[in-house]
């Protein structure tokens, strides 16, 4: 690996670390600006001013905001996520099982949507201008235009209410067989796959089409290479960087769409936990969940950039 590639990878990692620090600052102070007093919410409306003042002192809420931010950031760096205000439990205990459930949902969605999206995107690029390409493009644009909450609600009405094929709620802890796995994850996965697959198809098609228009691919075609060989051997290796970025950007959309999906289907994941924490104004739990989403997004984007750098034939 040459020095230029190492330098680019190091710079990308440095940008990711700086971005994470900026995001942590924004998350902490944005949650601090939420209306209401945490001590009053926890004690209730009947609490006396003395009790509220005592609880604020015990929870260090009277300390300067910058001091609490540094203390919170140090806790995140050392693995101490703090104590939940509403549950009076370590946040790590609350998040553990929920995080695994969210990972399961994301993994099943990725395994279902990525192969389908790549196949449709690559074949549409190979047959660009054909009836097949126009059908795939039209359906993709139509799917992108439909918000995921509408897809989720329609899925519940059709498959749970009218047809009664699938449960309206998804309980990840009740999976003991492959059939139960399909029943639990069917509607959440279909809902999430609708939008991310459409995005992935469009970006994959664009990346492959752009590569197919390059002079070296046209030269391979003039030399008698078949269209399949031209795509698989010449176009795809050079379009790997944009395709990986398309996959990463599409999967990162899971982080936003999963909030709506977990709420509608009552799926016990991180997003549902964060929504419940907002309702109780559990600031440490909100901050931790938000940082998990930000960290996952940065990880996907940074990994995609590094793969794009390593797969760039001109840099190699």
Please list the pLDDT of the chain residue by residue as tens digits (316 residues). Answer: 577 778 888 888 898 889 988 988 888 888 777 766 667 667 666 677 777 778 777 777 777 888 888 888 888 888 888 888 777 788 888 888 788 888 888 888 888 888 888 889 888 888 888 889 899 889 888 888 887 778 888 888 888 788 777 776 666 555 666 666 677 777 888 888 887 888 888 888 888 888 777 777 777 677 766 667 777 676 777 777 778 777 887 777 776 667 778 788 878 888 888 888 887 778 888 888 888 888 888 888 888 888 777 776 666 5
Q: Six-digit token pair at 311?
A: 């797969």
Cα separation, 74 vs 94, in Å, equals 20
Is residue 271 within 8 A of residue 102, CB to CB? The reply is yes
Q: Are 204 and 118 in contact (CB under 8 A)?
A: yes
What pLDDT does 247 receive?
81
Helix axes 254-264, 270-280, angle to 10 degrees: 70
**Rounded CA gap, 313 and 177, in Å?**
45
CATH homologous superfamily of 3-35+92-310: MetI-like (1.10.3720.10)
Task: Look at phi and psi of residue 79 and say left if phi exceeds 0, alpha if psi is from -120 to 50, else beta.
Answer: left
> What is the value of pTM for the model shown?
0.77
Half-sphere exposure of 103 (CA within 13 A, CB side): 8
Q: In whole angstroms, what separates CA 281 from the centre of its chain?
A: 23
Return the pLDDT at 279.
78
Q: Is 23 exposed, middle or buried (0-12, 13-18, 19+ CB in 10 A)?
A: middle
Q: What is the CA radius of gyration of the chain?
A: 24
Beta bridge partners of 117: none
Q: Where in the chain is the domain with CATH 1.10.3720.10?
A: 3-35+92-310
Alpha-carbon distance values, 2 to 44, 213, 309, 314 (Å): 62, 29, 12, 12
């Amino acid at each position: 690996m040459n020095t230029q590639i190492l330098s680019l990878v190091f710079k990308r990692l440095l940008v990711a670390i700086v971005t994470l620090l900026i995001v942590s600052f924004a998350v902490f102070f944005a949650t601090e600006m939420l209306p209401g007093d945490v001590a009053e919410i926890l004690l209730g409306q009947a609490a006396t001013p003395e009790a509220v003042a005592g609880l604020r002192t015990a929870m260090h809420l009277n300390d300067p905001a910058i001091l609490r931010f540094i203390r919170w950031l140090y806790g995140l760096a050392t693995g101490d996520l703090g104590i939940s205000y509403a549950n009076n439990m370590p946040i790590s205990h609350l998040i553990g099982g929920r995080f695994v459930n969210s990972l399961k949902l994301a993994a099943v969605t990725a395994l279902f949507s990525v192969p389908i999206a790549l196949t449709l995107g690559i074949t549409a690029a190979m047959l660009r201008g054909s009836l097949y390409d126009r059908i795939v493009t039209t359906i993709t644009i139509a799917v992108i235009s439909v918000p995921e909450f509408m897809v989720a609600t329609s899925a519940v009405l059709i498959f749970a209410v009218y047809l009664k094929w699938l449960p309206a709620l998804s309980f990840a802890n009740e999976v003991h067989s492959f059939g139960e796995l399909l029943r639990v994850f069917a509607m959440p996965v279909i809902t999430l796959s609708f939008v991310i697959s459409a995005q992935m198809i469009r970006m994959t098609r664009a990346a492959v089409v752009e590569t197919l228009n390059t002079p070296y691919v046209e030269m391979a075609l003039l030399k008698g290479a078949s269209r399949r060989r031209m795509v698989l051997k010449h176009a795809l290796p050079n379009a790997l960087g944009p395709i990986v970025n398309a996959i990463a950007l599409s999967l990162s959309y899971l982080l936003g769409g999963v909030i709506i999906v977990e709420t509608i289907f009552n799926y016990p994941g991180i997003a549902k936990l964060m929504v419940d924490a907002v309702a109780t104004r559990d600031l440490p739990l909100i901050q931790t969940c938000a940082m998990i989403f930000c960290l996952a997004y940065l990880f996907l984007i940074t990994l995609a950039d590094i793969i794009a750098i390593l797969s760039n034939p001109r840099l190699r």
